[in-house]
Amino acid sequence: MSSISLLDLKAQFETIREDIQAAAMRVLESGAYIMGSEVKALEEEVAAFCGVKHAIGVGNGTDALLLALKAQGIGAGDEVITTPFTFFATAEVIAELGATPVFVDIDPKTYNIDVKKIEAKITAKTKAIIPVHIFGQPADMDQIMEIAEKHHLFVLEDAAQAMGSTYQDKRIGNLGHAATFSFFPTKNLGGYGDGGMIVTNDDQLADTIRILRVHGSYPKKYYHNMLGYNSRLDALQAAMLRVKLPYLDQWNDARRQRAERYNQLLADTPLVTPFAAEQRKHIYHLYIVQAEERDELMAYLKEQGVSTGIYYPLPLHLQEVFKHLEYAEGSMPHAERAALRTFAIPLYPELSFDVMEQVANAIKTFYKGRI
Ligand SMILES: *Cc1c(COP(=O)(O)O)cnc(C)c1O
């Protein structure tokens, strides 16, 4: 039995092999391996892509969040509101800076933060909101910005999963006060190693982030005005990402096409397929479905050679490391329910429609056997 993987990074590489090799060779022969002209060029291209003034390349998507919060002055005694249904890094960086993550439950349809529940969690200590555009679908940014304006809060979009998506025809990255991207290989714009970027229209925030990423010493080397980090972007990654960026929209459209096909193929199964909210472009970083009998179905699909994955099995408010925050089980019912029922099935731009039919047929066979 042939096996079907959740994602096939090599398939994408094969479509751009020569250009990636040429970009890598250009850097190897240049002798400049960290930051430099390739990083600057990628920053300019990403800024233009998002329609923002500044893009700052950093070591990874986690550092992008960390540096943006740090540059905004978030630290001990502050509270930052976010979602419990996201990759750990979103809340990790808040706590890493000595601030407290404050979780707000999700909307059960989109899996994004439930904007109706945000205001009740705002206190005198609240400094920022981090909406996560989870699985590639933008959060309700209009409502979030309205709340933020009313309470003078900083909004940092965690757009690690949503580069290229739009909200009311505006690019993600151009909606909050700043946004962060990850170039981890599995992301919609993935490099061949780690990388990340912050985008913002705020001149001062951008300046501070540029200083923070090089030990607090920019622009004059070896003179330090603050404590920073070592979080630079490699020239190799930047050069290879510059090859990939022009394809991002077409790859995202290919994901959308495949998601629509799955929606049709799975329509007469008990699976709950993804909900696409209005006035925004869902770019399906992951194609997430819900099943009451998830674990049995996943085990069956594994037997049939179909890979699946759980994103994420334990919501952040219930993580051991956040025990001291004293969130009870049942306090975020929608996030907890999603963690028990949702999983991803294979989806990537190069996935063939034939293979998608095989996946759908395996799911249908599972349910037939149960009636
Ligand atoms: C991947 C991801 C990150 C972290 O990015 P890295 O580049 O792996 O550090 C942060 N937030 C979300 C939502 C992510 O999916």
Q: How confident is the model at residue 220 (pLDDT cuts 50, 70, 90)?
A: confident
- 201: Cβ contacts below 8 Å, ≥ 6 apart: 52, 53, 54, 174
Name the β-bridge partners of 153: none
Residue to substitute in 7, 58, 62, 130 for testing ligand 1 pocket (most ligand atoms within 8 angstroms of CB)? 62
Residue to substitute in 94, 182, 194 for testing ligand 1 pocket (most ligand atoms within 8 angstroms of CB)? 182
Under a CB-based contact definition with an 8 Å cutoff, are residues 115 and 155 in contact? no
pLDDT single digits (tens) 250-289: 999 999 999 999 999 999 999 999 999 999 999 999 999 9
Name the β-bridge partners of 267: none
Per-domain residue ranges of the chain: 9-104+111-246, 248-367
Q: How confident is the model at residue 40 (pLDDT cuts 50, 70, 90)?
A: very high
SS3 234: strand
Residue 219 has pLDDT above 90, yes or no: no
Q: Which of 19, 55, 20 is nearest to 40 (CA)?
A: 55
Pairing of strands 100-103, 166-167: unpaired
CA angle 164, 169, 47 (to 5 degrees): 45
Whether 9-104+111-246 shares its CATH topology with 248-367 is answered no
Give residue 316 CA to ligand 1 midpoint distance, Å: 14
Q: Looking at ligand 1, which atom is closest to the CA of residue 182? A: 7
Give residue 185 CA to ligand 1 midpoint distance, Å: 11
What's this model's pTM, rounded to 2 decimal places? 0.97
Q: Looking at ligand 1, which atom is closest to the CA of residue 90? A: 11
Give the mean model confidence (pLDDT) for residues 36-49.
Answer: 97
Percent of the chain beyond pLDDT 90? Answer: 96
Residues with Cβ within 6 A of ligand 1?
60-62, 86-87, 89-90, 132, 158, 160-161, 182, 184, 194, 196
pLDDT single digits (tens) 93-119: 999 999 999 999 999 999 999 999 999
Q: How confident is the model at residue 167 (pLDDT cuts 50, 70, 90)?
A: very high
Give the mean model confidence (pLDDT) for residues 199-204.
Answer: 98
Q: How confident is the model at residue 178 (pLDDT cuts 50, 70, 90)?
A: very high
Residue 35 has pLDDT above 90, yes or no: no
Q: How confident is the model at residue 371 (pLDDT cuts 50, 70, 90)?
A: low
In single-letter form, the type of residue at position 360 comes to A
Pairing of strands 170-171, 178-182: unpaired
Give residue 292 CA to ligand 1 midpoint distance, Å: 28
Residue to substitute in 93, 184, 237, 285 for testing ligand 1 pocket (most ligand atoms within 8 angstroms of CB)? 184
Distance CA 346, CA 356 (A): 8
The domain defined by 248-367 folds into: Aspartate Aminotransferase, domain 1 (3.90.1150)
Give residue 287 CA to ligand 1 midpoint distance, Å: 17
Give residue 182 CA to ligand 1 midpoint distance, Å: 6
- 156: Cβ contacts below 8 Å, ≥ 6 apart: 65, 68, 69, 72, 128, 129, 130, 176, 177, 178, 179, 180
Q: Looking at ligand 1, which atom is closest to the CA of residue 89? A: 10
Within 10 angstroms of residue 296's Cβ, the number of other Cβ atoms is 12
- Which residues are known catalytic residues? 187
Say if domain 9-104+111-246 classifies as CATH 3.40.640.10.
Answer: yes
Report the C-alpha dihedral over residues 78, 84, 86, 92, rounded to 10 degrees: 40
Q: How confident is the model at residue 356 (pLDDT cuts 50, 70, 90)?
A: very high
Residue 121 has pLDDT above 60, yes or no: yes
pLDDT of residue 278: 95
Report the C-alpha dihedral over residues 345, 340, 336, 128, rounded to 10 degrees: -20
Q: Looking at ligand 1, which atom is closest to the CA of residue 195? A: 7
